[in-house]
Amino acid sequence: MPAHGLRIFFCAVCCLLLLGSSPLRAVEPKEMLADPALEARARNLSKELRCMVCQNQSIDDSEAPLAHDLRVLVRERLQAGDSDNQVINFLVARYGEFVLLRPQFAWHTAALWGLPPAALLIGIVAIVLVVRRRRTLPVETANLSAAEEARLTELLRDS
């Protein structure tokens, strides 16, 4: 492939990756509230809530029917006059803390918050120990006999 064709291919792949990385909004126009302030609150809350079908997507991004139902429920609660915390507490009481994309730090979520930094720290320590051990190991030199050295010299000369 010529350099020009390779450059075009690379640019096309980059454009596709950029297009694919932009988040698509699953909120349908009929879900949106007429009051822009309430709609902004609903969108902020929806970004903090997990779609229990998709699991690593917020309900704001998910197109799953359950996510749609949760978005409608959030908007209904806001229209009823609930505060943001009341909406979150209602959903946690109904679905459990799993509905939160970022669970609150508590004793039962300590492993969730503590294991990633601990694993990173253990990995760094292991790398440092391996590097130190490699530096302190004596370098073994090959003790070749005269015949082996002659054969090695001959092989190196032929190649």
Which pLDDT does position 123 carry in this prediction? 96
Angle at 32 between CA 99 and CA 71, to 5 degrees: 15
Read off the pTM.
Answer: 0.53
Per-residue pLDDT tens over the stretch 57-91: 888 888 888 888 888 888 888 888 888 889 899 98
Which pLDDT does position 22 carry in this prediction? 46
Structure tokens that stand for 62 in this block: 């998910």
Which pLDDT does position 125 carry in this prediction? 95
Query: What residues does each domain of the chain span?
Result: 3-104, 108-158
Which pLDDT does position 113 carry in this prediction? 78
Class of 3-104 in CATH = mainly alpha
For the chain, the DSSP string reads --HHHHHHHHHHHHHHHHHHHSPPP---GGGS-SSHHHHHHHHHHHHHBB-TTTSSSBTTT--SHHHHHHHHHHHHHHHTT--HHHHHHHHHHHH-GGGBSSPPP-GGGHHHHHHHHHHHHHHHHHHHHHHHHHHHSPPPPP---HHHHHHHHHHHHH-
Where the chain has pLDDT below 50, the residues are: 22-24
Angle at 113 between CA 109 and CA 118, to 5 degrees: 130
